[in-house]
């Protein structure tokens, strides 16, 4: 058991059921989520006997780093080992003032492997092993929060705290729905980590029932949908989930999300040379999204060693962006980060597993 796997009410019950006063729960939560300690020994305002009892029953955290890669652009990629020996990735991305709003972003995983099976994705090729617990998600954020607080990242964009959290690492977040929601509640609770839901984004390959369910949660989180194609035939090939939830079901669910939450949807569109990067496809994409409160992130493909999925030339990318803009679709070409350390989702773990 790990304390980060408990909900806030469960922590209260944990503290008060043996007879401790209720304010001890806030003290305990403050040490874990605000002061970011890693040991009960550091909780100096809690009675020693209480700390010893807790330490004998419940650990504070669920993971440990086993491999690290640091990019020239400041991106830090971590491979974490979980209690059962399985591994997951998370990344810290630092954006300076010249790259839009200065921010410090954590990209975290929600599953060990992934069952969606997108052929271009390194994680998709690993298969699915299990869901992460809420605590295993939260602990990825807390690890990097400690690291940033300790000022180990020497870039001008360092803010001393995490500004943004994106569930875009290994796995399909909405396939691990209950654990995802609990993790978000812990991360956004004023008694937990205390970040704003507006600074959290959930990425999905397009799980329509879960998108509709998320729309009714009352959470003001962002939603990013991995689209990658303007038609079902191509999307079936790139994102196999589309065979179950085709575009004509996905887009109405996205529209419902924008209407209920007031948040616009981001559509992730990875550009693959000769596959989905033509001007005709850009025009078809614009027609598909017309009238929807959305933004398109154009992402040049990561080089994963599969020659079939390579990035287009720069001129092709800019022409695609221009075509979307001329047809009334807000779009941005995402700056690729961590290219020198193969920081794409699943790549560090794939290398680790291959070496083992």
Q: Are 201 and 266 in contact (CB under 8 A)?
A: yes
Rounded to whole angstroms, the Cα distance separating 350 from 307 reads: 17
Q: Which of the 8 DSSP states describes residue 150? A: T
Amino acid 136: pLDDT: 97
Q: Are 170 and 114 in contact (CB under 8 A)?
A: yes
Amino acid 51: pLDDT: 93
> Across residues 12-28, what is the average pLDDT?
92
Rounded to whole angstroms, the Cα distance separating 259 from 263 reads: 8
Longest dimension (CA), the chain: 69
> Across residues 134-145, what is the average pLDDT?
97
Of 29-38, 198-207, 228-237, 304-313, which range is least confident?
A: 304-313
Q: Does residue 152 carry a pLDDT above 50?
A: yes
Q: Does residue 98 carry a pLDDT above 90?
A: no
Amino acid 19: pLDDT: 86
Q: Which CATH superfamily, name and number, covers 63-355?
A: Aldolase class I (3.20.20.70)
Domain boundaries, the chain: 3-57, 63-355
> Across residues 53-58, what is the average pLDDT?
92
pLDDT class of 95 with cuts at 50, 70, 90 = confident
Query: Which structure tokens are listed for 74?
Result: 């400041």
Amino acid 308: pLDDT: 87
> Across residues 294-320, what is the average pLDDT?
90
> Across residues 184-198, what is the average pLDDT?
97
Q: Does residue 278 carry a pLDDT above 90?
A: yes
Q: Does residue 337 carry a pLDDT above 80?
A: no
Of 89, 153, 268, 321, catalytic: 89
Greater confidence, 329 or 354? 329
* pLDDT per position as a tens digit, 195-238: 999 999 999 999 999 999 999 999 999 999 999 999 999 999 99
Tell the CATH topology of 3-57: DNA polymerase; domain 1 (1.10.150)
Q: Is 89 a catalytic residue?
A: yes
Buried b (16+ CB within 10 A) or exposed e, 228-238: bbbeeebbbbb
Q: Does residue 155 carry a pLDDT above 50?
A: no
Amino acid 350: pLDDT: 66
Q: Does residue 326 carry a pLDDT above 60?
A: yes
Amino acid 157: pLDDT: 41
| Per-chain mean pLDDT for the chain | 91
Give, in order, the Cα–Cα distances in Å from 46 to each of 26, 43, 63, 326: 11, 6, 24, 61
pLDDT class of 121 with cuts at 50, 70, 90 = confident
How many helices (H) and strands (E) in the chain?
11, 12
Amino acid 354: pLDDT: 61
Of 12, 178, 345, 355, catalytic: 345
Amino acid 353: pLDDT: 63
């Amino acid at each position: 058991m790990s304390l980060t796997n408990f909900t806030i009410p469960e922590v209260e019950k944990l503290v008060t059921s043996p007879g401790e006063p209720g304010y001890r729960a806030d003290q305990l939560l403050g040490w874990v989520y605000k002061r970011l300690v890693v040991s009960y020994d550091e909780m100096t305002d809690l009675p020693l006997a209480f700390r010893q009892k807790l330490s004998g029953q419940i650990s504070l955290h669920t993971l440990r780093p086993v491999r690290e890669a640091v990019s020239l652009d400041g991106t830090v990629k971590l491979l974490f080992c979980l209690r059962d020996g399985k591994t997951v990735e998370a990344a810290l991305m630092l954006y300076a003032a010249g790259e839009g709003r200065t921010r410090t972003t954590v990209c975290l995983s929600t599953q060990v492997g992934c069952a969606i099976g997108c052929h271009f994705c390194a994680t998709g090729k690993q298969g699915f092993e299990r869901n992460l617990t809420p605590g295993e998600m939260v602990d990825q954020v807390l690890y990097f929060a400690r690291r940033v607080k300790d000022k180990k990242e020497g870039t001008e964009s360092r803010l001393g705290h995490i500004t943004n959290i994106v569930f875009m690492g290994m796995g399909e977040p909405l396939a691990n729905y209950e654990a995802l929601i609990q993790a978000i509640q812990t991360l956004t609770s004023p008694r937990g980590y205390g970040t704003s839901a507006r600074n959290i984004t959930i990425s999905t390959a397009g799980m329509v029932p879960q998108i509709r369910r998320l729309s009714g949660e009352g959470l003001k989180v962002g939603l990013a949908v991995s689209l990658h194609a303007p038609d079902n035939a191509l999307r079936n090939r790139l994102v196999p989930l589309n065979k179950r939830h085709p575009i004509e079901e996905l887009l109405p669910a996205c529209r419902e999300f924008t209407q209920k939450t007031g948040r616009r949807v981001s559509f992730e569109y990875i550009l693959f040379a000769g596959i989905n990067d033509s001007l005709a496809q850009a025009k078809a994409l614009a027609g598909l999204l017309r009238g929807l409160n959305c933004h398109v992130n154009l992402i040049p493909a990561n080089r994963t060693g599969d020659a079939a999925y390579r990035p287009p030339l720069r001129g092709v990318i800019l022409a695609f962006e221009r075509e979307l803009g001329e047809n009334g679709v807000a779009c941005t070409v995402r700056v690729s980060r961590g290219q020198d350390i193969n920081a794409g989702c699943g790549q560090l773990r794939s290398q680790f597993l291959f070496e083992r």
